[in-house]
Amino acid sequence: MKLNIKHMGWYALAAVLGMVQALGFAPQPLGIVQIGSLAGMLLLLPYVTRPARVAFVFGLAWFCAGLYWLHFSMHGVGGLPTWMSALAITALSSYLAVYYMLALGVWRRFFAELRVSSYLVAFPALWLVAELARGYVFGGFPWLASGYAHIDNPLLKGWFAIFGVYGVGFAAAMCAGALAFVGRCAIERRREVKGLALTAASMAVWAVVGLIVQGLNWGEKAGAPISVNIVQPNVAQTNKFDEQVMLSNTLLFIRHATQSSAQLTVFPETALPYPWTQVPIEPLEALHTRLSGRAVLMGGVGIDEAKHEFYNSAMWLSEKDDPLDPPRYDKIHLLPFGEMIPWGFQWFVDAMKIPLGGYGYGQSQKPFELNVAGQTTRIGVNICYENEFGEELIQAWGNGDAAAPNVWVNMSNLGWFGTVSHSTAQEQHLYMSRARALEMARPVIVATNTGLSAYIDASGVVAQQLRPDAAVSATVQVQGMQGLTPYIGWGNAPMLGLASLLFGLSVFLRHRVMALD
């Protein structure tokens, strides 16, 4: 097959735009970059001869550039050869790119005429469908969903509490569509006066309303602040599972918890990476005697001996509970390959020498209750990968706001994915935690093994961040919140409905215009 230099130029440009799209997420969230790269891709599509392929290259470059840090876990920790790690990242990125290839391919095939409805209705609807699909199909992988790039965008961040990250991504797609429409009018020297006026008016409405909703307070204070000690132990993944290291860390962590004066002390995911029944009894009981008016959240491995199942768990240690069999939260949404093995991929997991996986699924999201001086603060917990799924976390409101969390804690171990100086995984994870804070109007405590550990207030602002890649801890005053955001009430239902409605509307408008022509 003879290569066409012109075609290769289109592919190269699409790859550059895809890499720029990834740059919009980390190391800083740059919404204008995300919108600009997407607008550039949309502007490119009407002029290429292989639109589906060009769109695929855009998505492939976006995800390869945004998820390169998976190499550190597969190669650096799991021992996979570099070529196999690169192939795995390319395969995952290809799978994710297919959603956007289909969305942009359909847009080019049916809606590429220079009409306002094509750019402000059809394109955002198709983009939203692609985002929702990859967030749900096969358990979902919504990492780098486009809304996360706008966590600091003053015109769009207010929409998190109303429509969630997918709603913000939809608004960003509409902005990209508007820019592309204006750009195409300029390129083709078309005077679409009505279209340009409608575009300007639409963007003005988004901006003004976005600024207004950003100033709304969806929650109110629930009691007095509580003191929380965030522990970041910085244990290297290469020796985390060494028997002597595990024993040393166990004694160190329990001693730290014993000496902590904070009302709540939080350790990261699998701080003790072995079954709870194997934790040394004497230091654990010594800790229990010092827990008057205090509690500890310890990452560990829960066990159900009757079912012979292990769980990625958060152990709740308090004075009223048995430390040898404490209440716990078992992770519900497991990470593919790391904690659950998709059918047909056992060989791939076996190729990585990582002594974790095969966990059971947790069931309950019931928060823990921290009782201090007659005040009860409910602590909701999610573990690592669950941080991506706001629509699942809001299920904690199933019994009403009176039984829902006042504070969220995310316990993670991002040490799998390299140091902060070499990886953007930690920043990306932190932005997702900030989005969850905005969606639910709740403060979020992020406790990780190596960083980025932080306290995020209910407005999504990082109030305190621990120094990354270091063994440190910090005590912060956390104000619990109560009340409902619109997103808690309806989740992603409006976005699912909107995608269907707008797509139907765009089809109707297209056929109507064709009939008039």
Residues with a known catalytic role: 269, 331, 384
- Return the amino acid letter for 211: L
Asked if residues 377 and 406 have their Cβ atoms less than 8 Å apart, the reply is yes
Question: Cβ neighbours of residue 243 under 8 Å, at least 6 residues apart?
Answer: none
Asked if residues 414 and 451 have their Cβ atoms less than 8 Å apart, the reply is yes
Q: Region of 340 please: left (phi>0), alpha (psi -120 to 50) or beta.
A: beta
Go through 223-248 and write b for each residue having 16 or more CB atoms within 10 A of its CB, e for each that does not: beebbbbbbbbbbebeebeeeeebee
Place of tokens 């998505």: 59
- Return the amino acid letter for 146: S
Type and span of the H or E element at 474: strand 472-478
Question: Cβ neighbours of residue 172 under 8 Å, at least 6 residues apart?
Answer: 31, 34, 35, 38, 146, 147, 149, 150, 156
CA distance 291 to 317: 8
Backbone angles phi, psi at 371, to 5 degrees: -105, 115
CA distance 249 to 489: 42
Cα 469 to Cα 234, 306, 410: the distances in Å are: 6, 39, 18
Angle, in degrees to the nearest 10, between helices 160-188 and 31-44: 40
- Return the amino acid letter for 166: Y
- In the DSSP assignment, the letter for residue 307 is T
The SS3 call for residue 131 is helix
The Cβ of residue 197 has, within 10 Å, a number of other Cβ atoms equal to 11
The half-sphere exposure of 481 on its side-chain side, counting CA atoms within 13 A, is 21
Asked if residues 43 and 180 have their Cβ atoms less than 8 Å apart, the reply is yes
CA distance 269 to 312: 8
Type and span of the H or E element at 428: helix 425-440
CA distance 220 to 222: 6
In 3D space, the residue among 430, 501, 441 whose CA is nearest the CA of residue 466 turns out to be 430
